[in-house]
């Protein structure tokens, strides 16, 4: 094996910190800063210090190897991009406030790439002319820019972050399915090698458009996604992607709608309590504004509206909650007593649970009054059924009906079958087998490279600090010299021997730092094996400690070197 340089902590550009940074909310943020891996440069913008850069490079290497293994070709496109292609696909506007837009000195519009479908499509349009040039998979590992609304989770959600993005181009639909399957397998290998615990979950296509899409989610407390796992079958999905089937019921026996006085019952809780009915018997109507127009959203009274789902449904239109001023301008909308029957000039969308034939107690559009026996499809019309409720623990699995279990997770990868959305907009054709132009079909695939570092920290850290899996650790062995000259000499000597055999060594040779601080730091930094030149250094005996299990063993120098180079 090649000789690798020994990293000496006495020269390392990184200080460990005793205390958590004041602005840190999640574990990975606290630990990566405290252990000297990263420093915050501005909100959501991070600098990687030597140890952090090593971990990041290891993740990159694994991603690169597995992408190369499926025949993907690495390229590097610019991050600073012209506006025109994003105008052609509509994303210059649709991307909304997340897009970093800027101008050059001549007033020309540019953006910092949030993802590169347009530019890759144009590259292939320039390079490929015939079906013989396809299929092709191209990828890059590059910084992406998104002006995230809440860049609060440290490296997990940066405004500048490192992504591996790849794009497949095929002439046939089954070719796209193959490129997608290749990525799915490559991602399984990548995340297994990284040592991440993950699930593959069905996902919505979101603003990207297109058809099939799956997310790779790493279960973790700090995650911002919620996924549902079926304890009985293989169903797993991001809760955003779970939709409830519309099941119409027969309402012929339901008596006519009837107003009932219900003073002082402006909330579902007060209403259900005063009538002695479960909240699920009532219909809740939330008012929102979609690009300024009032829309009512109907859901059973015991369910919460998921505003993200409402936003996703209406995107790119902007969804806002109604205000006092909106109620003042529309006296027909009675706060707390809105019902879908007789609503005028209001679009009504409802959850599929409000299926045709279902009967409800709902607002009478008069203060202090509700109406019972209000039947969907008889007493009011639903303009559109949209799944908008928050999925709850115990909701039935869409596949087998068993109660779902919910967990938090971090999205570490995402694969999409985009289809022809981008190739249509940018007119990417190649000459087909029969001499006629064929519209190319496309997939896009992302791995959050910098996010994976934080996700790993989240999943593997313990109460002492970071605890890296071997393949991504910044070193294989952390050699600690307890302090005396002889111990430091021995530590440096072992470090040289190990390095000569290709072992990556971090050695704590800092003078004037107490052994206690060095031990604590070695646990915080999280290299998998810790080798201490301490008490018995004079006898040529060292202590080898496993960072994860804490198991220790006394070994002679020769034994230790043999063990670590095996
Ligand atoms: P999220 O829902 O977390 O914002 P996304 O759906 O916007 O993610 P994609 O557009 O699919 O993400 O990007 C591909 C991958 O890039 C994601 O799976 C994720 O791992 C990573 N990623 C996305 N946004 C960020 C970010 N702000 N910081 C770090 N990594 C990110
Ligand atoms: Mg995002």
The per-residue pLDDT string of the chain (566 residues; one tens digit each, 9 = 90 and over) reads 566 789 999 999 989 999 999 888 899 999 999 999 999 999 999 999 999 999 999 999 999 999 999 999 999 999 999 999 999 999 999 999 999 999 999 999 999 999 999 999 999 999 999 999 999 999 999 999 999 988 778 999 999 999 999 999 999 999 999 999 999 999 999 999 999 999 999 886 343 444 689 999 999 999 999 999 999 998 888 888 888 888 999 999 999 999 999 988 888 999 999 999 999 999 999 999 999 899 999 999 999 998 888 988 888 888 999 998 988 888 888 988 999 998 888 999 999 999 999 999 999 999 899 999 999 999 999 999 998 898 899 998 888 889 999 999 999 999 999 999 999 999 999 999 999 999 999 999 999 999 999 999 999 999 999 999 999 999 999 999 998 999 999 999 999 999 999 999 999 999 999 999 999 999 999 999 999 999 999 999 999 999 999 999 999 999 999 999 98
The number of angstroms, rounded, from the C-alpha of 117 to the middle of its chain's C-alpha atoms is 19
Find all residues with CB under 8 Å of 263, minimum gap 6, and list them: 368
| Selection from 512, 475, 547, 566 nearest residue 8 by Cα | 475
For ligand 1, say whether the CB of 158 is within 6 Å of any of its atoms: yes
| Selection from 119, 22, 54 nearest residue 80 by Cα | 119
pTM above 0.85, yes or no: yes
Domain locations in the chain as residue ranges = 7-12+475-565, 37-242+405-458, 258-385
Q: What does the pLDDT read at residue 203? A: 85
Q: Which ligand number lies closest to the CA of residue 225?
A: 1
**Tokens 């040529």 identify what position?**
540
CA–centroid distance, 448 to ligand 1, in Å, is: 6
Architecture field, domain 7-12+475-565? 3-Layer(aba) Sandwich (3.40)
CA–centroid distance, 141 to ligand 2, in Å, is: 17
Domain 258-385 in the same topology as domain 7-12+475-565: no
Closest C-alpha to ligand 1, atom 24: 157
Closest atom of ligand 1 relative to the 206 alpha carbon: 6
Q: What does the pLDDT read at residue 207? A: 39
Q: What does the pLDDT read at residue 264? A: 87
CA–centroid distance, 243 to ligand 2, in Å, is: 21
DSSP string across 233-290: SS-EEEGGG--PPP-----TTPPPPEEEE-TT--SHHHHHHHHT--GGGBEEEEEEEE
CB 306 within 8 A of CB 389: yes
Run of H or E residues at 403: none
Q: Which ligand number lies closest to the CA of residue 165?
A: 1
Q: Which ligand number lies closest to the CA of residue 411?
A: 1
Closest C-alpha to ligand 1, atom 22: 448
CA–centroid distance, 143 to ligand 2, in Å, is: 14
Q: What does the pLDDT read at residue 206? A: 42
Closest C-alpha to ligand 1, atom 1: 411
Closest C-alpha to ligand 1, atom 25: 157
For ligand 1, say whether the CB of 446 is within 6 Å of any of its atoms: yes
CA–centroid distance, 411 to ligand 2, in Å, is: 10
Q: What does the pLDDT read at residue 1? A: 53
- The residue ranges of DSSP E strands in 254-383, in sequence order, are 258-261, 283-290, 293-300, 319-321, 347-350, 359-366, 369-375
For ligand 1, say whether the CB of 201 is within 6 Å of any of its atoms: no
For ligand 1, say whether the CB of 44 is within 6 Å of any of its atoms: no
Q: What does the pLDDT read at residue 104? A: 98
For ligand 1, say whether the CB of 197 is within 6 Å of any of its atoms: no
CB 256 within 8 A of CB 270: no
Q: What does the pLDDT read at residue 244? A: 81
The number of angstroms, rounded, from the C-alpha of 547 to the middle of its chain's C-alpha atoms is 29
The number of angstroms, rounded, from the C-alpha of 303 to the middle of its chain's C-alpha atoms is 25
One of 3.40.50.300, 3.90.960.10, 1.10.3260.10, 3.30.1200.10 is the CATH number of 258-385, namely 3.90.960.10
Instruction: Give the tokens for residue 556.
Output: 């002679």
CA–centroid distance, 166 to ligand 1, in Å, is: 14
Q: What does the pLDDT read at residue 342? A: 81
CB 387 within 8 A of CB 191: no
One of 3.90.1150.10, 3.30.420.40, 3.30.930.10, 3.40.47.10 is the CATH number of 37-242+405-458, namely 3.30.930.10
CB 421 within 8 A of CB 431: no
CA–centroid distance, 226 to ligand 2, in Å, is: 14
């Amino acid at each position: 094996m090649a000789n690798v340089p020994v990293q000496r902590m006495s020269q390392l550009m990184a200080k460990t910190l005793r205390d958590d940074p004041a602005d840190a909310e999640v574990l990975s943020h606290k630990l990566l800063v405290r252990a000297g891996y990263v420093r915050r440069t501005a909100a959501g913008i991070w600098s990687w210090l030597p140890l952090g850069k090593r971990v990041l490079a290891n993740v990159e290497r694994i991603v690169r190897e597995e992408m190369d293994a499926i025949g993907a070709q690495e390229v590097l496109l610019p991050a600073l991009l012209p506006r025109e292609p994003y105008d052609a696909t509509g994303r210059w506007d649709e991307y909304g406030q997340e897009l970093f837009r800027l101008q050059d000195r001549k007033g020309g519009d540019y953006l910092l790439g949030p993802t590169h479908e347009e530019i890759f499509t144009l590259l292939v349009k320039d390079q490929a002319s015939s079906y013989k040039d396809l299929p092709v998979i191209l990828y890059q590992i590059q910084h992406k820019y998104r002006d995230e609304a809440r860049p609060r989770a440290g490296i997990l959600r940066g405004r500048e972050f490192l992504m591996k993005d790849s794009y497949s181009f095929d002439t046939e639909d089954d070719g796209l399915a193959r490129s997608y399957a290749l990525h799915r397998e490559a991602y399984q290998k990548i995340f297994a090698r990284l040592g991440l615990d993950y699930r593959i979950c069905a996902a919505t296509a979101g603003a990207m458009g297109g058809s099939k899409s799956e997310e790779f989610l790493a279960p973790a407390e700090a995650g911002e996604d919620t996924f549902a796992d079926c304890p009985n079958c293989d169903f797993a999905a991001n809760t955003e992607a779970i939709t409830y089937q519309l099941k119409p019921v027969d309402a012929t026996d339901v008596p006519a709608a009837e107003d009932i006085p219900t003073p002082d019952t402006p909330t579902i809780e007060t209403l259900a309590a005063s009538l002695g009915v479960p909240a699920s018997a009532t219909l809740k109507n939330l008012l929102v504004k979609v690009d300024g127009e009032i829309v009512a959203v109907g859901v059973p009274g015991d369910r919460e509206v998921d505003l993200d789902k409402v936003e996703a449904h209406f995107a790119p239109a902007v969804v806002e909650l109604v205000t006092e001023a909106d109620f003042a301008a529309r006296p027909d909308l009675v706060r707390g007593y809105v019902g879908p029957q007789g609503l005028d000039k209001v679009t009504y969308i409802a959850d599929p649970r409000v299926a045709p034939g279902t009967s409800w107690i709902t607002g009478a559009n008069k203060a202090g009054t509700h109406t019972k026996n209000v039947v969907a499809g008889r007493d009011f019309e639903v303009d559109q059924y949209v799944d908008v409720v928050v999925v709850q623990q115990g909701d039935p699995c869409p596949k087998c009906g068993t109660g779902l279990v919910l967990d938090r997770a971090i999205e570490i990868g995402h694969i999409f079958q985009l289809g022809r959305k981008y190739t249509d907009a940018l007119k990417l054709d190649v000459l087909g087998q029969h001499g006629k132009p064929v519209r190319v079909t496309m997939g896009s695939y992302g791995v959050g490279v910098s996010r994976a570092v934080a996700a790993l920290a989240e999943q593997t850290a313990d109460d002492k600090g970071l605890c890296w899996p071997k393949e991504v650790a910044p070193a294989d062995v952390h050699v600690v010299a307890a302090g005396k000259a002889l111990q430091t000499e021995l530590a440096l000597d072992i470090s040289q021997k190990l390095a000569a055999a290709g072992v990556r060594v971090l050695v704590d040779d800092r003078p004037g730092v107490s052994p206690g601080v060095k031990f604590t730091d070695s646990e915080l930094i999280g290299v998998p094996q810790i080798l201490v030149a301490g008490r018995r250094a004079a006898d040529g005996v060292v202590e080898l400690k496993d960072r994860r299990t804490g198991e220790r063993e006394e070994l002679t120098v020769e034994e230790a070197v043999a063990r670590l180079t095996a």
